[in-house]
Chains A and B, each alone.
Chain A
């Protein structure tokens, strides 16, 4: 369902990954959906190209869980946009998820590229 042409080259999201990434992108400050997508694209060196069809439902899920809140604001270029911001609960969730991902990545690495 990706809108990019060279889909095969890009990484696909594992279950639950997108949620953590969204939370991480909001750690720096409130942002809107477009900004979040841009952030993820840049931060991942274009490896993650966020499909809007996944991004929007994921945002709704996080909203429902109370990890972020939304507010309409005027953007620097004088346009109205819906800004999302982390809640304390969201911050806590980010810490938990981050450490879980670290452990997961380390374990994967150990298995895939054993030392020695």
Chain B
């Protein structure tokens, strides 16, 4: 400690005094020796020489003494870094290439890792999240199209009473409500949950309380709500008293009884379900309303189920128990029904779709980082041939091999740090933009960021890559033979053939990997292209909007309002036609019900064909451009009782090879009135372009008036220019209706392939990046071999060889390409 202190003081005071003093001291010492010699009878000259001989090399002694006043390791490190800095600045082309390549590699890896960390690695933000599960039902007869289906409330009750493996079990569903009273009326997603929901998640409101069992009773409605912290702050401020605040949902006043803790996020259950659209974030929870009819054994499969496993119980055990219960339920129901159940870990359900893509992306960027390292190593080796003389001079002047090794590694580290910092900064910007813009449809995106773990990973990448690309050049630098090189006057280095082969192999592997990534990108592009080119069956230029009527509207008034809106829109200049439908194509499936030809015999309910039932206004088919294949479209007052238009697939399935017109369809209940087929229209994709078409039965919208329907508009001018007029037309019917948000069918289609497009984009970018890197790598190898053999080629040409064959000679560096081709085959 004291030693350091003295050194530090000496360093601050300046070492010049110390050096002068030492010089004087040494001179005095020498004089003493001379005097001694003279005293012994030598001549002054003799004495002087003897003293010099005895004393040793004064300069070396002074320097050694001075050395003990320095922080040697530290100072040589500072010197190394200074030297590295100079070298980096001097070799600008190489340094810029290396830093940019590394920035790309490290930045990309860090960015993708931050996604992996936030989405896959971080535990879900609930206590003991590994025990949280989601339960689904499954019916073998429809499994090919619907592998799992939502939960039936009656079945749920059986499980809750009898399942031993589940500690808690709760029911939930989503609903869209119109929120009024807080600014403009808006459509908002509300989660209806059973009383056990929050306790199952392990979350308690930070203020107020959750729901009680009383509020779970079927056919009851309780006007209470629990809201998230951010919703509460946004609308009521931090200090508002609980119990005094209400919100209007569908016109009914709900008292806010609880506020959830800050940071609470409603689980993204809807992932991977064809039945639920990707819903926006949930900020309001209210008690679940279960109609008594849904508690019948053949009630709807309408609900989500969240469970918490008992400690020590595995998912497989829980699933086995569930299947035993399901078999019992099915037996009780009779009719040859079969029922199964599935239990998924909540985390898996949320992230499973993203998992493969993310790990793939991480692997790809890791590969790119690796390629980048190989590249820089190659370039550094190639450059090394030019640097050999410099290294040789340094070695000749006394730099030890460990000093040269250290120096070279420090240089690599400097490059890696520069690249890494640049890359991490880029990753920060990229990830922030990515999360804010929600560029990909990924779960838990809000939890993604550059946290400590990600930064640690970036640091690891920096150190790891500097070692990876720095080691080979460093070893070479430490092994220079000054005599050999200086004698050869910089004619080139003498490197063994083994190292050359290694470099060729590295470059070849690089090219092979690049080609692989490019092939993958090509395949993805091709399939995206094919999906996007699928027969749509509808016109993409059609504009759409969701129109939600005030909830107080009775069915008759709903129809009246919807007809009024259609009438007003039809009058608008620029609007060709307008129509309503319950659900547009390429969105999702709902109202999936069993159908049968009327004349069919008894078929167990679960083995009947399932069709999406949609309600539409007569102009829907014309507006959307769905081709009428046979018969006619239903019209108001057209005399037919229960007229329906069916899609071609329904006709094929129910009456193969026969004329479906005039035939009748039987629904779940086997009694009149039956649905009468008046027309057949083309198939359209139902939930997604890839999923293709499903059977659809269109019914007239006046037979089932809805509060919320999708509006379709065929316009002769750009739809966005009509937005104001459309809003005005709608508000003239009722200003309580939330302003419609226009979206073309093209946008809806585009949204439905976001994920696929993102994957394709990602892999294409990776492919192009690695192609660039591979080019650099091959350049490095070729230029190195050319530099190494310039002399040889000169001699060959002097001896009469043609330019062409000299070119061929350097063409041997094409070895990597052959290797790449071989690896890819």
Contact = CB atoms under 8 A, between A and B. Distances in A.
A52 B55 contact: yes
B35 A56 contact: no
Nearest to B6: A64
A64 B7 contact: yes
Contacts of B61: 52-53, 56
B28 A57 contact: no
20 contacts: A3-B56, A4-B54, A32-B32, A34-B28, A52-B55, A52-B61, A56-B26, A56-B62, A56-B64, A56-B65, A59-B65, A60-B68, A61-B68, A64-B6, A64-B68, A65-B6, A81-B25, A81-B28, A81-B32, A82-B21
A50 to B, nearest CB: 11
B673 to A, nearest CB: 106
A34 B33 contact: yes
Contact of A53 (B2, B32, B60, B66): B60
A53 B69 contact: no
Contact of B35 (A3, A52, A64, A77): A77
Given A34-B29, A59-B65, A60-B68, A53 B56 contact: yes
Contacts of A59: 65
A80 interface: yes
B512 to A, nearest CB: 57
A46 to B, nearest CB: 13
Nearest to B1: A65
Contacts of A66: 2, 6
A33 B31 CA distance: 12
A87 B655 CA distance: 114
B213 interface: no
Contact of B31 (A63, A65, A79, A82): A79
B669 interface: no
Q: Rank and list the top 7 A-B pairs by shortest CB-CB distance, nearest first.
A: A56-B65, A64-B6, A34-B32, A60-B68, A3-B56, A64-B3, A34-B29
A88 B6 CA distance: 17
Interface in A22-80: 32-34, 51-53, 56-57, 59-61, 63-66, 77, 79-80
A82 B31 CA distance: 13
B658 interface: no
Contact of B64 (A3, A4, A57, A77): A57
A57 B72 CA distance: 14
Interface of B: 2-3, 6-7, 21-22, 24-26, 28-29, 31-33, 35, 53-57, 60-62, 64-69
B25 A51 contact: no
Contacts of A52: 29, 55-56, 61
A51 B53 CA distance: 12
A52 B65 CA distance: 10
A3 B25 contact: no
A61 B56 CA distance: 20
A32 B31 CA distance: 13
Contacts of B6: 63-66
Contacts of A3: 53-56
A33 B29 contact: yes
Contact of A64 (B31, B56, B57, B69): B69
B55 to A, nearest CB: 6
Given A65-B3, A66-B6, A81-B32, 11 more contacts: A3-B56, A32-B25, A32-B29, A33-B29, A51-B56, A52-B55, A56-B26, A56-B65, A60-B65, A79-B31, A82-B25
A4 B56 CA distance: 9
A64 B70 CA distance: 11
A77 B39 CA distance: 13
Most buried by B among A33, A34, A59, A63: A34
Given A64-B6, A66-B2, A82-B21, A57 B54 contact: no
Given A34-B28, A64-B7, A80-B28, A57 B55 contact: no
Contacts of B64: 53, 56-57
Nearest to A66: B2
B31 A56 contact: no
A56 to B, nearest CB: 4
Contacts of A63: 6
A4 B35 CA distance: 19
Chain B interface, DSSP helix/strand/loop, else mixed: helix
A65 B4 CA distance: 9
A80 B6 CA distance: 25
Nearest to A5: B53
B67 A57 contact: yes
A4 B7 CA distance: 32
A82 B28 contact: yes
A28 to B, nearest CB: 18
B53 to A, nearest CB: 7
Contacts of A51: 56
B486 to A, nearest CB: 28
Contacts of B60: 53
Contacts of A32: 25, 28-29, 32
Contacts of B24: 80, 82
A56 B56 CA distance: 12
Contacts of A64: 2-3, 6-7, 68-69
A79 B69 contact: no
A60 B24 CA distance: 15
A15 to B, nearest CB: 15
Contact of A79 (B26, B28, B53, B57): B28
B22 A56 contact: yes
A77 to B, nearest CB: 7
A92 B6 CA distance: 19
Contacts of A60: 65-66, 68-69
A63 B60 CA distance: 20
A58 to B, nearest CB: 8
A70 B33 CA distance: 21
A59 B25 CA distance: 12
A40 B88 CA distance: 52
A82 B2 CA distance: 22
Contacts of A80: 24, 28
A63 B731 CA distance: 93
A52 B62 CA distance: 10
Most buried by B among A60, A65, A66, A81: A60
Contacts of A79: 28, 31-32
B2 to A, nearest CB: 5
A57 B63 CA distance: 9
Nearest to B29: A34
A4 B54 CA distance: 7
A52 B64 CA distance: 10
B654 to A, nearest CB: 100
Nearest to B10: A64
A32 B24 CA distance: 12
B8 to A, nearest CB: 10
A64 to B, nearest CB: 4
B225 to A, nearest CB: 74
A53 B61 CA distance: 5
Contacts of B69: 60, 64
Contacts of A34: 28-29, 32-33
B814 to A, nearest CB: 56
Nearest to A51: B56
Contacts of A82: 21, 24-25, 28
A3 to B, nearest CB: 4
B776 to A, nearest CB: 50
A57 B21 contact: no
Most buried by B among A1, A57, A61: A57
A61 B3 contact: yes
Contacts of B65: 56-57, 59-60
A100 to B, nearest CB: 19
A82 B20 CA distance: 12
Nearest to A58: B68
A93 to B, nearest CB: 11
Nearest to B52: A3
A23 B32 CA distance: 21
A80 B25 CA distance: 9
B551 to A, nearest CB: 86
